[in-house]
C-alpha cells in the first residue's frame, strides 16, 4: 500500500489540530466511532442534528485544510470509477477501535448528490454493510481491508450502508484500530 505511510503522517497532523471525538447523535447516543474532519467544512452531529459546519465545534476554529495529496488520490480513484468531474472539498475521518460500529445510514447531507464519495480504509479490516435504497433491504457484506478504496456514487449514492463491529486485532502499521477516510463534495 504505497500511500499509507504518507496518509498516516497527514492524519497525525490533522488530529493535532482537530482531535478525534465521539459525537452525539440527534437521539442523544454517543457514537462508538471517533471522528474528525479536514477541508472547507466538516461533518458534525449533536442534539441539533447532522450537518456540515465551517468551524470545529470542539475548538471554535476552522478545520485543517484538505491536503493536496488526498484530493489527488480521491480524484484518481473517481476518474477510474467513471466520475471525472469529482472535486472533493471535505474529508470525514472515522476511527474505529475494536468493537466500534456504524449503524445503517444514508449519506444525504451533501448538497450535490450527483457527486460520488471516495472511501479509503486503513488498519484493521471490517465488514462493510452495503444495503439498498430502503433501510429494510438486506445488506450485502463486503470485506474491507487496509488500502482498499471504494467509490460510492450514481444510483447507489443514497443506499443504506454501515460497518459491522470491528474485530479485535493489531495492524502492523496502524495498530489496534481501523481508520476510514471519506472524501466528499459537500458545498
- Which residues in this chain contact Fe ion in the complex, by CB under 5 A? 107
What would the x/- binding string for ligand MD6 be over residues 86 to 105, using CB under 6 A?
--------x-------x---
The residue among 77 and 102 lying less far from ligand MD6, judged by its C-beta, is 102
Distant-in-sequence, close-in-space partners of 49: CB < 8 Å, separation ≥ 6:
26
Cα–Cα distance, 133 to 111 (Å, whole number): 19
In the list 10, 180, 183, 185, the residue contacting ligand MD6 (rule: CB under 6 A) is 180
Contacts with ligand MD6 in 136-175 (CB under 6 A)?
A: 150, 152, 161, 163
Least CB distance from residue 60 to ligand MD6, whole Å?
26
119 binding ligand MD6? (CB under 6 A): yes
The residue among 62 and 104 lying less far from ligand MD6, judged by its C-beta, is 104
Least CB distance from residue 85 to ligand MD6, whole Å?
18
> How far from each other are the two terminal CA atoms of the chain, in whole angstroms?
31
Q: DSSP letters along 140-185, please?
A: EEEEE-TT-EEEE-GGGTT--EEEPPPPP--BTTTBS-EEEEEEE-
Nearest to 174 by CA among 130, 131, 122: 122
- Alpha helices for 68-176 (secondary structure H): 68-80
Catalog residues that contact ligand MD6 under the rule CB under 6 A.
94, 102, 107, 117, 119, 128, 150, 152, 161, 163, 180, 182
Amino acid at each position: 500500500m504505497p500511500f499509507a505511510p504518507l496518509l498516516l503522517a497527514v492524519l497525525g497532523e490533522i488530529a493535532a489540530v482537530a482531535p478525534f471525538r465521539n459525537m452525539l447523535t440527534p437521539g442523544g447516543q454517543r457514537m462508538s466511532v471517533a471522528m474528525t474532519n479536514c477541508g472547507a467544512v466538516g461533518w458534525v452531529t449533536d442534539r441539533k442534528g447532522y450537518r456540515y459546519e465551517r468551524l470545529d465545534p470542539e475548538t471554535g476554529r476552522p478545520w485543517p485544510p484538505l491536503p493536496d495529496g488526498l484530493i489527488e488520490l480521491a480524484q484518481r480513484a473517481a476518474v477510474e470509477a467513471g466520475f471525472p468531474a469529482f472535486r472533493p472539498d471535505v474529508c470525514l475521518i472515522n476511527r474505529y477501535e475494536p468493537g466500534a460500529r456504524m449503524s445503517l445510514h444514508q449519506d444525504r447531507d451533501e448538497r450535490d448528490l450527483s457527486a460520488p464519495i471516495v472511501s479509503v480504509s486503513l488498519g484493521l479490516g471490517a465488514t462493510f454493510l452495503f444495503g439498498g435504497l430502503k433501510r429494510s433491504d438486506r445488506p450485502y457484506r463486503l470485506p474491507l481491508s487496509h488500502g482498499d478504496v471504494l467509490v460510492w456514487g450514481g444510483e447507489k449514492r443514497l443506499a443504506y450502508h454501515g460497518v459491522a463491529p470491528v474485530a479485535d486485532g493489531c495492524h502492523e502499521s496502524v495498530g489496534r484500530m481501523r481508520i476510514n477516510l471519506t472524501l466528499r463534495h459537500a458545498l
